Structure 1
Amino acid sequence: MIVGTAGHIDHGKTALVKALTGTDADRLAEEKARGITIDLGFAYADLGSGQITGFVDVPGHERLIHTMLAGAGGIDMALLVVAADDGVMPQTREHMAILDLLGMERGLVVMTKCDLADQVRRDAVAAQVRELTAPTGLRDAPVLMASTVTGEGIADLRDALSQAEAETAARHADGPLRMTVDRSFTLSGTGTVVTGTIIAGRVAVGDQVVVGPTGLSARVRGIHAQSRAATLGLAGQRCALNLAGDQITKDAIHRGDVVMAPALHAPTTRIDAMLSVLPSEPTPIGTWFPARLHSHAAELGARIVPLGDPIVPGSQGPVQIVLDRPVAAGIGDRFILRDVSAMRTIGGGRFLDLRPPARKRRAPERLALIEAARHADPARALRAMLSVAPVEMAVFARDRGLAGATAQQALDDAQGHAVGAMALSQAQLESLRDGMQTQLSQFHEENPDLAGLGREKLRLALTPRLPKEAYLVLLQSEAQAGRIVLDGAFIRQPGHEVRLTDQDQALWDRIAPSLTGPLRFRPPRVRDFATDFGVDEKEVRRVLKLTQKLGRTDQIAHDHFFARSTTSEMVAILRDVDAQSAEGWFTAPDFRDRVQNGRKVAIEILDFFDRHGVTLRRGDLRRLNPHRLDLFG
């Protein structure tokens, strides 16, 4: 369990931690000289539960609220300290407001310096505390008396913390690693060490990790968990990690960075969130409101854009947060906003979407997705989001820090369907299937002489509109089910067929052997067929164009038609050429030598594939586009 102190300056937070643990959390010479905490201090002790409890001691001075915030993220329990002689003071109120904005519901209130107050004074201060905590998540927190001078109440406080330690449920440790960094330093003979709290997952010696948002790669050489040497660090523990890597130095890693599993690295500068504004804020929060954002140990400049009306003091609403630099964040992370002069706390809330659009951010669908994302349970959030729009599952799982099995369970519980990388609701899937049949029926009715509707044209006509990769998966699934037929670049219903007249069929029967025999890679041209058969060239071209609509041929160039089976065969040859080429790039001669035709015809064929997106060209080099390889069967 991690316990974080909170309270006004000089109310005895550090002395209380020392009385409980035997450790002086003030580690800086200036702190000891001035008798106040300037930076975060840490202490550890077994309070009787058999487990190690970690303490984060934070400064109480108003100018050091940013440091307090760096320690407040990731704590399991708050220790709100109020001196009996002073009572509730300005920073007591601000710290309490911050704890409430962070969603803290477990805590103890400790009235220190009780040796300086009689019973009347104690009762009066206890009443102040109850009034302060009444509207917050700590409304039911016990109020304990303590004195580090006489020892009064220290044993009772230790027992209460020990019981809380025993009741603390283990955090979810089977997901990907996320550890917030609050210190980075160098130890002689060891190297770079970072300390922080593991907020999700686990880390072991030898693991490969990434430091976000910079993306530096590192290997874990050693671990101290809860101030003890260990081979494994778990969610909920304070850890020190000895990191090694080409660019890993103490100056390359900063307070607010996150050590994470490589799969989670996806920094963002724009976040949609739900913001609660404190009643003490003097004016509503309007568009482009400047602020300082604090989340875990990170502190960044931010602009706030309400996604509705300005948010008046004492209320909440959806906002888009635009940051001045990237941050490594997760959905559900709590944040605090302070004014740019660091004089007051404005409000706080929870991150709901790490990939919001800069345009149309107030669209009804966007607002509905933000509302859906407010569910903390992944399955409930996914179900609600799927009722609005398809969801990209890889992004959903990554931004929530879900392991593969957990993400799949959320999809199953939400009764969603995986279509490629996208998740769809049953209603969305049925809408796509029904829309596909409606569009094809209408097209066939209006164009009975055409083979089918173009793939991309159909994609753009369907609701919801899928990304191309997911759309291709849907088409293949529907084709396998027999509901549609994929015919090159076209799609048709199974019962639709364009027929040639008897006269046209007779001419085609004479042409076809030349397009499918030994010379299929260099077939005769239209004018050659016209000369050989004594038929007008325009008539030959007309029939070949009809066969193209039927999916029997492809017009490679103006005067050159290839059989569709030959086109498919050439795609297979291109796959083989691609596989044998350096880094996937190949030249026209590489292809020409495989099909054994002339340079001009080979280039015509490759230009045809370029136009259809099967190949991607860069100068004289080409490579295959994996997303279009199924276009010709």
Structure 2
Amino acid sequence: MIVGTAGHIDHGKTTLVKALTGVDTDRLPEEKRRGISIALGYAYLDPVPGQGRGEGQGAGGEGGDGAGRRIGFVDVPGHERLVHTMLSGATGIDHALLLVAADDGVMPQTREHLALLSLLGLERATIALTKCDRVDAATRARRHDEIRALVADTALAGAPIFEVAATTGAGVRPLREHLIAEAAALPPRVGAGLGFRLAVDRVFSLPGVGTVCTGTAHAGELAVGDELVVLPPAPGQAPLRARVRSLHAQNAVAVKASAGQRVAIGLVGLEKEEVGHGQWLAAPEVAQWTERLDARLRLWPEEARALRSGTPVHVHVGAAQVTGSVAVLGGLAGRPVEALQPGGEAFVQVVLHRSIGAWAGDRIVLRDASATRALAGGVVLDPHAPARYRRTPQRLAELIALTADTPLQRLEGLLGQAPMGVDLVRFAAGQGIAGGTRAALVAGIGAAGGAGATGGGAASVAAGNAVGYAAAGSAGTAAAGDITVVPGADGPLWALGAAQTAQWAYTAQERLQRYHQEQPEELGPDLARWRRLAAPRMAEPLWRALVQRLAAAGRVVVSGATVHLPAHGVQLSALDERLAQKVMPRLLAAGFEGVWARDLAKEAGEPEALVRTTLARLAQRGELFQVVKDLYHAPPAIQALARIARDSAADGDVKAAEFRDRSGLGRKRAIQVLEFFDKVGLLRRVGDAHRLRNDCQLFIEHPTPQQRRGNDPGGSAGLQIR
């Protein structure tokens, strides 16, 4: 358990921590000279009294088990100018120890520290009435009444009050035993499936160890040898990476550390100057940073004015402090509001002036523009907040979904609201979820019947599963709990809710039917054009997964790069069949170069206009491919060229020069082929590069029914490649 002290300057925080643990947390010469705490101090208390140690004093204790039972103290400064330091130590604590001196009573910093603890959402606390040896019983009784009145309307209202005199030791033992009992009763933190992250509050170097970062572990587990990244990175740079050389958890040498512990990490590959107070060390799979986040916020009841959009604030998340501004979005019921009233709660967006690390569930505290008082506090809901459409009913509904208790419930709620699906990689990182957990998270959708579930059955995690749709003219319905999921090598990439799957399937089919009515002479649009017509804003991987489902369900037919409804097709006449038989040997023999329509007509001894018409029909049926106008290739050649393109994709990009050399084509023809692959969706043009779409299945050979039956040894097999 991590205990954080709070209270006015000179109310005995450091002295009481020393009495409890035996450790003087004022380590700096300036602190010794002035007799006040300036920086955060740390000490530890074992269940057996007298075994307390300060951070950095050595391993001690009882190894792994001792570290698990040890209580860590974060001693914070009480001076009003050091409240930002107090906050950097208070985020991540489990239990607050609020101190009030019996001779002074409640003072200004007592009130602000209480406000900060309340805004941080702390519900477990103990109150110590210190310096009781300096006043009489009547004064102590009055102080009890003052304290009870102070905390009456806060989460600390039921906190016990202990009378102590740290200099004489009076009352220290009962307080120590109480804190040990509180530590034993602390519920275990949820660590499974979460990526490790630690808010850095101290950085120093040790001989033989190197750079050491200390802080409170907010989530996950860490082991010696693991890799961490420093967040946020310097502007315009990638995050720095380092390897864990050594660990101290709760001031004991450890091979593993976990959430809720004070952790010191010895790092390899990172200089002391490359990481600072307020940054995060995080597992690479949850690495992210933001300049805009959405939060659920509560304005402190004692504020005189409402909080309005545009208000400049100081923002505290983790150990970081940054300036920014607030935009009030709406009430918790999903209705827009103009301002957040004192004591009220609302959804807000915080726009930051520089990047910070933040994850869903992190506590956030706002102070006024001059950093003289606490304004509001709450919890981060979405660290990937949108800059546009942030006050729409759709967005407010999504924020309501994100207030659910667990990541699974939040994902279920989002899938029930998001019309364009959910980017699961981004969602998992924002929730702090390890990549390997995404599949289990998606598999659990609907299984427990949680709030916001998309249906009653377990979700399907494989794109392409058959789904039943209602007849044309209705919106369509998906099977219960059956969502569309885009799989990936490290876990699912995208998900679309069951209701949205059915709606988009109907919309796509309806738009395809309209295309057939408007262009009856064509077989159908290519996949890219169909997406532009039906769902231009949908992520392309999700669109392709939806198309695969429609094709698997027999609702559409995909021929090469062309799609059409099963009832629609270009029929070949007897003349077309005869001409196809005459030109196909020449096309197959042409290989990568292809053949021009005029040359095919000349060699076949047929009228050029007639041959052009037949070639166009064959292309519409997906039995030939027109790379450029009037230049046709047989499917085996395009399939082989596609294989070369895939093999040439160094770092995901196909270089025209390498493709030219591998294919043996001239420069002009090689570029024409790559542009054809851009058009049909095998590649994607990004600047001057042709980027491979790794999940594209175009031009990958599948045996035809004739080949599977052994009745088609060659030749015409190329006509059926899908």
**TM-score, normalised relative to structure 1:** 0.92
Deviation at 1:493, TM superposition (A): 2.2
In structure 2, the partner of 1:79 is 97
Helix, strand or coil: the match of 1:79? Answer: strand
Q: How does 1:190-269 map to 2 (within 5 A)?
A: 190-214=209-233, 215-245=239-269, 248-269=270-291
Q: Does 1:563 align with 2:585?
A: no
In structure 2, the partner of 1:183 is 202
Helix, strand or coil: the match of 1:402? Answer: coil
Deviation at 1:572, TM superposition (A): 2.5
8 Å contact kept, 2:87–2:319: yes
Deviation at 1:156, TM superposition (A): 1.0
- The letter for the 2-side match of 1:630 is L
1:426 to 483, 498, 503: 498
- The letter for the 2-side match of 1:452 is G
Distance in 2 separating the partners of 1:620 and 1:461? 26
Compared with structure 1, are the counterparts of its residues 407 and 121 closer, same or farther at alpha carbon in structure 2 (3 Å cutoff)?
Answer: farther
Helix, strand or coil: the match of 1:251? Answer: helix
Q: How does 1:66-105 map to 2 (within 5 A)?
A: 66-105=84-123
8 Å contact kept, 1:391–1:422: yes
Helix, strand or coil: the match of 2:277? Answer: coil
In structure 1, the partner of 2:8 is 8
In structure 2, the partner of 1:476 is 548
RMSD in angstroms over aligned alpha carbons?
2.7
Compared with structure 1, are the counterparts of its residues 114 and 522 closer, same or farther at alpha carbon in structure 2 (3 Å cutoff)?
Answer: closer
In structure 2, the partner of 1:398 is 429
Deviation at 1:54, TM superposition (A): 0.7
Deviates more, 1:618-627 or 1:379-388: 618-627
Deviation at 1:486, TM superposition (A): 1.3
1:334 to 338, 363, 369: 363
Distance in 2 separating the partners of 1:330 and 1:324? 18
Deviates more, 1:123-132 or 1:458-467: 458-467
8 Å contact kept, 1:4–1:58: yes
Distance in 2 separating the partners of 1:619 and 1:164? 60
Deviation at 1:347, TM superposition (A): 1.0
Deviation at 1:298, TM superposition (A): 0.7
- Could you list the per-position Cα deviations for residues 362-415 of structure 1 after superposition, in whole angstroms to 9, with x for gaps in the alignment? 222122111211123112211111111121111121111123464444333332
Helix, strand or coil: the match of 2:339? Answer: coil
- Could you list the per-position Cα deviations for residues 14-60 of structure 1 after superposition, in whole angstroms to 9, with x for gaps in the alignment? 11111111111111222222222111111111144962111111111
Q: What is the number of equivalent residue pairs in this alignment?
A: 627
In structure 2, the partner of 1:166 is 184
Q: Does 1:62 align with 2:80?
A: yes
Compared with structure 1, are the counterparts of its residues 282 and 461 closer, same or farther at alpha carbon in structure 2 (3 Å cutoff)?
Answer: farther
Deviation at 1:255, TM superposition (A): 1.1
Helix, strand or coil: the match of 2:273? Answer: coil
8 Å contact kept, 2:644–2:663: yes
Q: How does 1:309-458 map to 2 (within 5 A)?
A: 309-389=338-418, 390-404=421-435, 406-415=437-446, 416=459, 417=483, 419-420=485-486, 421-458=493-530
8 Å contact kept, 1:373–1:384: yes
- Could you list the per-position Cα deviations for residues 309-338 of structure 1 after superposition, in whole angstroms to 9, with x for gaps in the alignment? 122332222111111111111111001111
- Could you list the per-position Cα deviations for residues 236-260 of structure 1 after superposition, in whole angstroms to 9, with x for gaps in the alignment? 1111111121xx2222211111111
Which 5+ residue runs of structure 1 have no aligned equivalent?
none
Deviation at 1:625, TM superposition (A): 4.5
Deviation at 1:548, TM superposition (A): 1.8
Distance in 2 separating the partners of 1:171 and 1:392? 27
Helix, strand or coil: the match of 1:387? Answer: helix
In structure 1, the partner of 2:451 is none
Distance in 2 separating the partners of 1:621 and 1:306? 42
Compared with structure 1, are the counterparts of its residues 113 and 352 closer, same or farther at alpha carbon in structure 2 (3 Å cutoff)?
Answer: same
2:136 to 105, 115, 118: 118
8 Å contact kept, 1:48–1:162: no
Helix, strand or coil: the match of 1:360? Answer: coil
Distance in 2 separating the partners of 1:599 and 1:418? 41
- The letter for the 2-side match of 1:233 is A
8 Å contact kept, 1:293–1:302: yes
Deviates more, 1:185-194 or 1:365-374: 185-194
Distance in 1 separating the partners of 2:394 and 2:517? 34
Deviation at 1:107, TM superposition (A): 0.8
Distance in 1 separating the partners of 2:33 and 2:595? 96
Deviation at 1:611, TM superposition (A): 4.4
Which 5+ residue runs of structure 2 have no aligned equivalent?
50-65, 234-238, 330-336, 447-458, 460-482, 487-492, 700-720
Compared with structure 1, are the counterparts of its residues 548 and 6 closer, same or farther at alpha carbon in structure 2 (3 Å cutoff)?
Answer: same
- The letter for the 1-side match of 2:205 is T
8 Å contact kept, 1:8–1:90: yes
Deviates more, 1:31-40 or 1:458-467: 458-467
1:508 to 577, 580, 589: 580
Deviation at 1:473, TM superposition (A): 2.4
Distance in 2 separating the partners of 1:428 and 1:264? 28
- The letter for the 2-side match of 1:392 is D
8 Å contact kept, 1:592–1:602: no
Helix, strand or coil: the match of 1:430? Answer: helix
Deviates more, 1:252-261 or 1:610-619: 610-619
8 Å contact kept, 1:450–1:550: no
Compared with structure 1, are the counterparts of its residues 360 and 480 closer, same or farther at alpha carbon in structure 2 (3 Å cutoff)?
Answer: same
Distance in 1 separating the partners of 2:678 and 2:484? 31
8 Å contact kept, 1:7–1:92: yes
Deviates more, 1:113-122 or 1:455-464: 455-464
Deviation at 1:436, TM superposition (A): 3.0
- Could you list the per-position Cα deviations for residues 435-471 of structure 1 after superposition, in whole angstroms to 9, with x for gaps in the alignment? 3333333333443322123323433454695310122
Deviation at 1:276, TM superposition (A): 1.4
Q: Does 1:530 align with 2:630?
A: no
8 Å contact kept, 2:19–2:167: no
Distance in 1 separating the partners of 2:439 and 2:154? 36
8 Å contact kept, 1:224–1:239: yes
Deviates more, 1:188-197 or 1:345-354: 188-197
1:630 to 695, 698, 704: 698
Helix, strand or coil: the match of 1:519? Answer: helix
- The letter for the 1-side match of 2:391 is R
Distance in 2 separating the partners of 1:179 and 1:28? 24
2:151 to 117, 126, 133: 133
Q: How does 1:261-300 map to 2 (within 5 A)?
A: 261-300=283-322
